[in-house]
Amino acid sequence: MAKFIFVTGGVVSSLGKGLTCASIGMLLEHRGLSVRLQKFDPYINVNPGLLSPAQHGEVYVLDDGSTTDLDLGHYERFTNTKLTWYSSWTTGQIYQRVFEKENRGEYQGATIQVIPHITDEIKHCIKRLASSDIDVVITEIGGTVGDIESLPHMEAIRQFALDVGKENCLYIHLTLIPFLKAAKELKTKPTQYSVGQLRQIGIQPDILICRTEVSLSQEERMKIGLFCNIATDAVIEEKDKDFSIYEVPLSLTENKLDQIIVDKLHITKAAPLDLTDWRELTRKLRNPQHEITVAVVGEFAGYRDAYKSTYEALEHAGVQCNTRIRILWKPSREVLLPDTKYELNKVNAIVVSGSFGESEIDGKIESVRIARENNIPFLGIGLGMQAAIIEFARNVMCLENANSTEYDKDSANPVISLLDERRTYIRDGGTLKIGADTTVFKVGSKIYDAYDKNQLAYERFRHRYEFNNQYREQLERSEMQITAMSPDSLLVQGVELLNHDWFVGVQYHPEFKSQPTKPHPLFLALVNAAIKMSSKNKN
C-alpha cells in the first residue's frame, strides 16, 4: 500500500514548498521508490490556464493538456513522476466536482457541507494517485496555515490519517526561522505559532523543515523541537540557496531528511541513496568554462517566474555545455527602443517566448528581425514562431501588413490565423490545441539534427492560432522552410531559415520538457550555436 506525505507551509508564503516537495520526490526516487506528486491550490479559480503570469508566474502545461501552477514544473524537472489532471487541484475545481455530483443526484438530497462533502472530495483526489505500483504520494497544500482558504484542505489531510492509519501518513511542515540582524538572533516564535495553529486543527507535524538564512545550532533545533513537540533530529534545516535550486535536495539529504522519512513511514524496500548524477550536475553548475548572454523577449519579462521553465531549460542546456547562461530579460515593448535594439544586437542568442492575448507583437517581430539579419542564434516558441513567420512574410516575402488575425482581424495577409476547428477541441470558450501531440520533422533539417536525427517527438502545445496554409506554397519556395509538422501534415509546427546558422521556430513549448540532467534538444542546440558564435566573434 502507498504511503502518504503531506507538506504544509507556515509563517509566510513563497517559502518554496513546491521546490521542497520536488526535492523530497527526487530523493525518494533516488532511493528506488516510485512516487506521485500533487498540489492543492487554495484559490477559487476553476481554470489556472487563465491566471495572469504577472500574478502567478507561468502557466505550466502537462501532457494531458491540464494547465497548472508552476510548481508542477519543479515536480517534473526534479523527478520522473507522471503528472496528470489529478496532480493539480484548485479549490474551485473541487467545488465544481461536488456541484456536478449534486446535479447527478449523487447526494440524494443531503445538505452539502464542507465536512464531509468537500473534504471527502479532497481525500478522493489524493487516494486516486495511490495506485498499486506507487510507493509514496506527496501532496503539497498550497497557501499558509491559518489562511481561510486552506482550512478544508487541512481538515481533509487530518482525517486522512484516520482513514488509512497514522503509520501510513507523514506530515511535514515548512516554516521560516527569521534572522533579526539587529539582535543577531534567529527567531523561533513565528514557527511555534504556526505549528500551534496546525495542532489546533488536529495535525501534529512529524518533521519540520526550517527555511533560514543562517545555520541552526543544535540548541536552536532542540528548542524548536521542544516547543513544537518534534524530535530534534526531525527539525531539519533548509538554508537559503543563493547559488542554485538544484542544490536543495543535496542539503536536505545532508540533514538526513530522506532517511527520516523512510524510517518514520517504515518503508523497508528503500535502496541506499545514489546521487551520482545530481552531484555531477551541481559540480558542473559551479564550474562553468564559458559564459554566454541570451536575451529572452516576452511581455512579462519583468516578472519573476513568468518564464520559469524557459529560464530553467536554458540553464539545463548551459550545464551540459559547461556554460554559464546570463539572461537578458527584455519586455517585448522595450525592443522597439533604440537602446534595446543595440543591446539585442550584441547578445549570443535570442529566445522569443510564447504568449496569449497580449498585444506586444511588434517588439517580438523586431527581435526576430534583429536575430535574422545579424545571424544571431534564435529560438521562437509558440507566438515566437508565429512572430518569426510574420517578420519573414513582411520583410522578405514583401507581403504587406502580414499579421496574425489575433492582432489584426482584417490583415491583408493573415499568415497566422485561427486554428481549424475540426482539428482541435473546445477549451476556454474557443478553439485551442492543448496538451502533448506527435510532431514529425523533415529529415536533414536543423530541428531533425537537434533531436539526434529522430524524426518524431512528442511535445506540448497550447495555442489557438496556426500558420495559414494558404501561404504554404509561397513559404516553401522561400528560405524559410517548414521542418516540423503534425502527422497529417496539416498543421505547421516548426520552421527554420536556410541561410542562417541556427534559426528555429516551433509552435510547441519545448521548455516544459527539459530536465536538469536531460536538457531539451532544442535548447541544447541553441546554446551550442550561441557558444560557437561567441567564440567566432572573439577570434
By the criterion CB under 6 A, which residues form the site for ligand GLN? 354-356, 382-383, 386, 406, 462-465
Task: Please tell me whether the peptide bond between 116 and the residue prior to it is cis, using omega within 30 degrees of 0.
Answer: yes
The residue among 355 and 514 lying less far from ligand GLN, judged by its C-beta, is 355
Residues 6+ away with beta carbon under 8 Å from 200? none
- Rounded CA-CA distance 518/167 in Å is 36
The residue among 63 and 449 lying less far from ligand GLN, judged by its C-beta, is 63
Output the smallest distance, CB 464 to ligand GLN, in A.
4
The residue among 93 and 386 lying less far from ligand GLN, judged by its C-beta, is 386
The residue of the chain with the least Cβ separation from ligand GLN equals 382
| Look-up of cell digits 516548426 | 494
DSSP states of 393-415 as a string?
HHHTS--TTEEETTT-TT-SEEE
With residue 279 as reference, give the H or E element that holds it.
helix 276-286
- Rounded CA-CA distance 464/432 in Å is 5
Output the smallest distance, CB 57 to ligand GLN, in A.
16
Q: Are 144 and 11 a contacting pair, CB within 8 Å? A: yes
Output the smallest distance, CB 351 to ligand GLN, in A.
12
Output the smallest distance, CB 445 to ligand GLN, in A.
21
The residue among 82 and 464 lying less far from ligand GLN, judged by its C-beta, is 464
- Rounded CA-CA distance 530/350 in Å is 9
Q: Which of 114, 77, 76, 68 is nearest to 94 (CA)?
A: 114
Output the smallest distance, CB 147 to ligand GLN, in A.
32
Give exposure, 401-410, as e/b (b: 16+ Cβ within 10 Å): ebbbebbbee
The residue among 188 and 507 lying less far from ligand GLN, judged by its C-beta, is 507
Output the smallest distance, CB 405 to ligand GLN, in A.
10
Q: Are 10 and 175 a contacting pair, CB within 8 Å? A: yes
The residue among 10 and 65 lying less far from ligand GLN, judged by its C-beta, is 65
Output the smallest distance, CB 296 to ligand GLN, in A.
14
The residue among 79 and 514 lying less far from ligand GLN, judged by its C-beta, is 514
Output the smallest distance, CB 518 to ligand GLN, in A.
23
The residue among 255 and 439 lying less far from ligand GLN, judged by its C-beta, is 439
Sign of the CA dihedral running 177, 180, 184, 188: negative
Q: Which of 49, 462, 2, 528 is nearest to 294 (CA)?
A: 528
Indicate the SS3 state at residue 316: helix
The residue among 139 and 468 lying less far from ligand GLN, judged by its C-beta, is 468
Sign of the CA dihedral running 190, 191, 192, 195: positive
Output the smallest distance, CB 354 to ligand GLN, in A.
3
The residue among 255 and 355 lying less far from ligand GLN, judged by its C-beta, is 355
- Rounded CA-CA distance 84/156 in Å is 21
Instruction: Give the chain's length.
Output: 539
Output the smallest distance, CB 206 to ligand GLN, in A.
42
Q: Are 464 and 521 a contacting pair, CB within 8 Å? A: no
